[in-house]
Structure 1
Amino acid sequence: MASWFIEPFISKVVEIISGDAQTSVKSIKDFELNLKALEKKSKSLCAKASDVEEQIKNSERSGQKKRKREVEEWLEEVRSIEKKVVELRTRLELEGFTIRLTDGDLPAKLIEEVDRLVEQSQSFGELALDVYGSRGDKLLTNGMVGEAFNENLEKILEHLESEQVSSIGVYGMGGVGKTTLAKHIHNRLLQLSQGRVIWVTVSQKFSVTNLQDKIARFIGLDFRGEDNEDLRAARLHTTLSQMKNSVLILDDVWENIDLSKVGCPISVDSVECCRLIITTRSLEVCRQVCCQKVIEVKNLHHQEAWKLFNETLRRSEIELDSSTEEIARSVAELCGGLSLAIIIVAGSMRGERAIHTWRNAYEELTERVSGKDGMGDGEVYNVLKYSFDRLNWNHHSQSNEFNTLQRCFLHCALYPEDGEINRERLVSDFISEGLLDERKTRSSQFDLGHSILDKLVNVCLLESCAGPGSTECVKMHDLVRGMALKIRVRSRLVYEDA
């Protein structure tokens, strides 16, 4: 027999023989009485916990309430106590007389825990809180320039304040600044509006269920165990209809969305419930979604383009002389007034003041934009590819074709479109995929990986953003990601380290 119960049993027998028999017998009787009391109290506590859980679920179904953290922790403790009671009964069946002798005070200790939980439940008050108490955080965004940008911003705000427009479409070519405009709208609404501002990135890989999940998570609606699209849509519709003065922003919409199937109560007859803003590359999509007002985001004019280029460039605090600045203006013009291209090219040229470097940049970009480089790609791709080609890193490279910085950048394209990528996870992937110098210690590799991400953010090929729980993340614009995936295909790096 195992010694784990024989030794305490023998010890207890010795105790009885030595003259403490009367005390031990009393302890056994107390065990039986306390066990009965424990099972009764535990059953009552579990019944109460079941009622609390049911009340919370009923409150959460509307999407307007979310369980208090205090209540959730209490339910966890109740489940833990319930498990301990079951384990005690199992031990009693296996060990019988032994557990009565060795752990005679266990039922009494568990009774104390049960009594504490019962007392705690009497001071809960409301079991759930209003999920709209927090209206959201400001989104990180670049500053924008130009009269057109400010006019579009004010025009959209006026439409929303007029109480006559329930849906607005913002369209324009990729990289022109639609998302940046929408982010500024989001942040202004947080300051001005009394309602909720809901931000959802739709992206190219769209499905009704996925969009429902994103909206539900944002407003605190629990869809666990519910797979029926129609029932989910009905619950979303009910919740959003009750969110007065709120605005739903759907960013990066690629195709027509049947809002009724999703559960969005957007109506041309009423603006009392949730209103809609979409950003898309297609005017046709704006019409299909039945946007009441449509606003086009156009490319920047020459002076506006130079202002944005110069503001991005000046973050390095390096002044250009007049001759170099003249060439820099010409480089800015080659970006075609496209905000994304301007920011990325200017980012790649930060810190450069030598006139020969700027002349070379102008010549290379001119060849790419004109198509004389033989690549045969679109203007936007060629401009973005120039910034990729300028990436260099003075550390050991694992490839003759790409340096370490470039390979790490290309690896970032393997993550989902518009996804927020946790920095720690990304650096770990760099290490596991052998992208970093394997001669370094793991700690040094982590430092190198974060330095690489900083570099990619500094040259504007990645964006910094806050992920779940305010974790530090990065993301890649879909045009930049498309460029990176095309490079991977051409260089036969097609998902080999996905």
Structure 2
Amino acid sequence: MELAASVTGAIFTETVRSMSGSVRNRINATNRFEENWRAFDTALPSLKEIRTKVKKVLETMEVKGESVQFRLRRWLEDVEGIVSEATSLGEKRLSSILFLKWRLGYKLSSLVEDIKRLEELGVHLLDRCAGDGSVKRIEYIPGPTIFGLTTATGMLSDIAEKLKDNGIHIMGVWGIGGVGKTTLVKALNNKLGKEHNTHPFRLVVWVTVSKEFNLIRVQRQITERLKIKTNLGDTSEELAGRIRHVLTEETNVLLILDDVWEPIDLNLLGIPFTRRPDSLKVVLTSRFHDVCRNIHTDVDFKVECLSGDESWKLFCQSAGNVARSDLVKPIAKAVSRECGGLPLAIITVGSTLRGKKDVKLWNHALKELKRSVPYATSIEERVFKPLKLSFDSLDDKMKSCFLFCALFPEDTPIKIGELVSYWMAEGYIDEEGNHEESMNEGMTWIENLKDCCLLEDGPHDGTIKMHDIVRDFSIWVTSSSQSEYHSLIMSGSSLREIQPNKFVSSVQRVSLMQNKLEKLPESLVECAQASTLLLQYNSHLLEVPQGFLQAFPSLRILNLSATRVRSLPQSLCLLYSLQSLILRDCYFLKELPSLNTLLKLQYLDLCATGIRETPEGLEVMTRLRHLDLSRTHHLISIPAGTISKLTSLETLDMSLSSYHWNTKGQVQVGHATFEEIGCLTSLYALSVRLFSIPSLSFKVYSLIGRLTRFQIFIGSDVLSLPTRFDMRMIKLSSYNVSQVSIGWLLVNSTSLILNNCTGVNELFKKNLVNEDIRSFDVLKSLTINGFPASLGPSGGSMAQLDLFPNLEELHLQHVASETISELFGNLGFRFQRLKLLDISWCSKLTCILLVGNWILSLPSLEEIRVSRCERLQELLVYSPGILEASHEPLLPKLRVVKLKSLSKLKRICDQGEPLECLEQIEVIDCKLLGSLPISSKNAAGVKE
């Protein structure tokens, strides 16, 4: 009995403890009920607001004919479920039952977490879809056509079909160099772009890997394509995490990895890989089947050489009709056969012989192709032989210019301006002409090399690149010590050290750029013939030994840009033949040795160095043509008489330099004056900062008149200047423009920037009341930033004169006008040639244009950008009956509208306004905007 009582007591005690714990938990949960409900009341409206934005985005995408984003649709479905559940909970909120409140408390807590998760995901999806953060589904990649090549088009169809197979996730495309692998996958990319409604991929990402594999470089290509925000110092692990986070949220993604030379761990790249039907798929190209196998491809396609018929068809496309003429055709067919079916070789040889009608030339070409060369049995030789034919057809200077391109790392875009400057320093281009003439000659040579298929367009404007095979050929040509073009090329190879035995006396050029070199050899065999030494982008390099430069007595080009050198050795002064010294972005370089022996120097680039004064000996450089002192943030001294002695100077770039020029009488004794620049009769491009507007003198006036490009910043504030001479620009900051004579300076300017200036209306009035003053006739761009009053002088409401007859761009920031239409009546603006209207931070602006009276049409306007104007309600406001009365549209050429952070904007324009040319409209954070100006008249043309 005692035992039973003991057991019963223990059970009762434990039961009571359990019940009391449960009740206590319920009471605590009930106490948290109101706290959870307050969190719920805060979170749900925010989620509903994001839901509204998502719906608008989807509506816009549907109007434009785009496929609806699956992720947005799925997100909306989840949100609707949450909202429905929230409504149900709201009905139970007033219940006083303890048990029900306990249950609701737990449910609310879980629901708030779900709401916050969906809110975060919604913001992320909107960022991906809106404005500048949008990611194009498929980017068109230019490349040769495969039209008419049966084998290639057939393989393209096979690859596209295999991509639909849910059991295939990684696909390899392999074959020898020059056989057309990259061309094939470019065609695949573009095919998917054209047929986006018939394939499952919502996103295609193209990445070029290259022979010298660099994990971070490849990752950055992916982050740039996906518009993932990164930091300069991010590690590969951090980049992989960001890539993985974004791609995990995506479905049906295709990743194309072009030119893979070794197996890649996709996980290290940040590629999330599963075997789900909608998971990411990969297509890679490689010269080696082993690479495909080691990456565990599911299926591989070998790209074979072209058949005889296809080779002949492609050859005729490249060589033109002359190949089919009766006399040439038999020889042309033999030449085509000698190309071995390699598309690159066929195109190269065919382009070289295009238009050549002399049978002797064709026979010579055939003879050269049949000649044996070293290592004739290797795969590379099958390409190198036909490439050598094209190379041998060049004259000596053109050969040297072509081979110079191989000094740059593989797959690196080469800036045309930089390349031509090198050619000029090497002496390949005539020094007698001015810079513009020399650049034109260089551009002509580049076009000739492109016509021979030895160079091709780069990924950006103003760049070119070498095909991998062509670069390999170039290195093969220059690698022999017996070659007259012998070069040491180890650029982009991740070198930390270079052995002295790599340098031999026969070397002509040395390229060690874009490595990780920490030191250079102290002494070398003398490289007496070397003319070029490229060491830029070795960010770990701290010094250049005295003996190292002594080994290169004949140097014409020395580039140490973006290294960490703090000083240069005295042996620099022994480089008597030096034409080009480039020290750009050497931030730690504080001073240079005397340059008074470098009498042949023509190009000196000290941009973004740490120098405090110009180097000693600069004044004796009478052959110097280009001096770059831009971004010299510590420069405080230019000795008097230095600049005026540079009698050959053509460009002087001091944009973003801390140095302010001043005029005679206002400058410290011993310092250069602005008048010295007026002595430079060869100068055509100038970018400088002045403390004040110089007094009108014949010397200064004639200087401004003869400059082709200039950027002159006047004022005390430190503001940015563009770093390129792309216009004739005057920028005034914190200056009273009415107190000095400025018209003579503006009459030659195409761009005027007035930043926080006073006296602006008075300046305009002078031109309005006196028709003989035409200061703004050539002005094409006007920027006004920081003007607290309405623009336009009092009494100017009847202005009949068009003050800016040729204005194409108008930028207004922090201006107090209520409407831009004020500029019509007060200043006589007509805007007949205006192409861009850019307005931001104008707090009093209620509408952009009042249509009627002064404004009936803006015939040339192509783009409107408006942001952060807190009172703006409408872009266009119409006078009664104006739309019905007008026979012409107000904005017949408007293509682009970009609107951002306009909290009160309700309408863009009247629904009757036909914006037939509209192509792009971006709306970000405009909560009250009810509709977009998209109709049946322009929906087909709107691209995004």
Tell me the TM-score normalized by structure 2: 0.36
**Paired residue for 2:647?**
none
SS in 1 for 2:371: helix
> Does 1:257 find its partner at 2:247?
no
AA aligned to 2:344 is L
AA aligned to 1:341 is A
Q: Distance in 1 between matches of 2:299 and 2:221?
A: 25
The partner residue of 1:206 within 195, 201, 213 is 213
> Does 1:281 find its partner at 2:283?
no
Aligned residue runs from structure 1 range 48-197, under 5 A: 128-130=127-129, 131-144=133-146, 145-193=148-196, 194-197=201-204
Q: How many residues align?
A: 356
**Paired residue for 2:826?**
none
AA aligned to 2:158 is K
Cα deviation, 1:381-420, whole Å, max 9, x if unaligned, reads 222111100113xxxxxxxxxx221111011111110122
Task: Say if 1:413 and 1:481, in contact at 8 Å, map to a contact too.
Answer: yes
> Does 1:408 find its partner at 2:419?
no
**Paired residue for 1:232?**
239
SS in 2 for 1:378: helix
**Paired residue for 2:809?**
none
Task: Say if 1:175 and 1:338, in contact at 8 Å, map to a contact too.
Answer: yes
The partner residue of 2:226 within 215, 219, 225 is 219
Q: Distance in 1 between matches of 2:171 and 2:141?
A: 20
> Does 1:442 find its partner at 2:435?
yes
Q: Distance in 2 between matches of 1:129 and 1:264?
A: 19
**Paired residue for 1:424?**
417
Structure-2 change in CA distance of 1:139 and 1:127 (3 Å): closer
**Shift of residue 187, structure 1, vs aligned partner:** 0.7
**Paired residue for 2:470?**
480
**Shift of residue 319, structure 1, vs aligned partner:** 6.1
Q: Distance in 2 between matches of 1:443 and 1:347?
A: 29
**Shift of residue 132, structure 1, vs aligned partner:** 4.2
The partner residue of 1:383 within 383, 386, 399 is 386
Task: Say if 1:418 and 1:478, in contact at 8 Å, map to a contact too.
Answer: yes
Aligned residue runs from structure 1 range 293-372, under 5 A: 293-314=299-320, 318=322, 320-368=324-372
SS in 1 for 2:432: coil
**Paired residue for 2:253?**
246
SS in 2 for 1:161: coil
AA aligned to 1:477 is H
Task: Say if 2:240 and 2:268, in contact at 8 Å, map to a contact too.
Answer: yes
Identity of aligned residues (%): 32
**Shift of residue 136, structure 1, vs aligned partner:** 4.3
Q: Distance in 2 between matches of 1:311 and 1:335?
A: 15
- Find the structure with the greater CA-based Rg: 2
Task: Say if 1:168 and 1:294, in contact at 8 Å, map to a contact too.
Answer: yes
**Shift of residue 261, structure 1, vs aligned partner:** 1.1
Cα deviation, 1:453-474, whole Å, max 9, x if unaligned, reads 100111111112431xxx1322
Structure-2 change in CA distance of 1:494 and 1:164 (3 Å): same
Cα deviation, 1:84-140, whole Å, max 9, x if unaligned, reads xxxxxxxxxxxxxxxxxxxxxxxxxxxxxxxxxxxxxxxxxx994534442343111
> Does 1:458 find its partner at 2:448?
no
Larger helix percent: 1
Q: Distance in 2 between matches of 1:478 and 1:377?
A: 12
Q: Distance in 2 between matches of 1:180 and 1:245?
A: 23
Q: Distance in 1 between matches of 2:145 and 2:409?
A: 26
Structure-2 change in CA distance of 1:434 and 1:240 (3 Å): farther
Task: Say if 1:135 and 1:195, in contact at 8 Å, map to a contact too.
Answer: yes
Q: Distance in 2 between matches of 1:426 and 1:359?
A: 35
Structure-2 change in CA distance of 1:266 and 1:356 (3 Å): same
Q: Which moved more, 1:424-433 or 1:200-209?
A: 424-433
**Paired residue for 2:628?**
none
Task: Say if 1:140 and 1:465, in contact at 8 Å, map to a contact too.
Answer: no
Task: Say if 2:135 and 2:226, in contact at 8 Å, map to a contact too.
Answer: no
**Paired residue for 2:928?**
none
Q: Distance in 2 between matches of 1:323 and 1:369?
A: 29
Task: Say if 2:253 and 2:280, in contact at 8 Å, map to a contact too.
Answer: yes
Q: Which moved more, 1:481-490 or 1:428-437?
A: 428-437
Cα deviation, 1:266-324, whole Å, max 9, x if unaligned, reads 33x2242321110001111111111111000001111111111110111xx64642131
AA aligned to 2:328 is T
Cα deviation, 1:346-381, whole Å, max 9, x if unaligned, reads 111111111111111111111146979xx9983322
Task: Say if 2:209 and 2:259, in contact at 8 Å, map to a contact too.
Answer: yes
SS in 2 for 1:416: coil
SS in 2 for 1:488: helix
Task: Say if 1:176 and 1:297, in contact at 8 Å, map to a contact too.
Answer: yes
**Shift of residue 426, structure 1, vs aligned partner:** 2.3
CA RMSD of aligned residues (A): 2.5
Q: Distance in 1 between matches of 2:420 and 2:139?
A: 27
Q: Distance in 2 between matches of 1:225 and 1:388?
A: 40
Task: Say if 2:177 and 2:287, in contact at 8 Å, map to a contact too.
Answer: yes
SS in 1 for 2:210: coil
Task: Say if 2:316 and 2:324, in contact at 8 Å, map to a contact too.
Answer: no
Task: Say if 1:318 and 1:351, in contact at 8 Å, map to a contact too.
Answer: yes
Q: Which moved more, 1:256-265 or 1:209-218?
A: 209-218
Cα deviation, 1:151-173, whole Å, max 9, x if unaligned, reads 11001111112333211100000
Task: Say if 1:369 and 1:379, in contact at 8 Å, map to a contact too.
Answer: no
**Shift of residue 233, structure 1, vs aligned partner:** 1.6
**Shift of residue 431, structure 1, vs aligned partner:** 2.1
Q: Distance in 1 between matches of 2:379 and 2:283?
A: 36
AA aligned to 2:226 is I
Structure-2 change in CA distance of 1:143 and 1:377 (3 Å): closer
Larger strand percent: 2
**Shift of residue 481, structure 1, vs aligned partner:** 0.5
Task: Say if 2:253 and 2:279, in contact at 8 Å, map to a contact too.
Answer: yes
**Shift of residue 263, structure 1, vs aligned partner:** 0.8
> Does 1:433 find its partner at 2:431?
no
AA aligned to 1:457 is K
Give the structure, 1 or 2, with the largest relative contact order (CA under 8 Å, sep 6 or more): 1
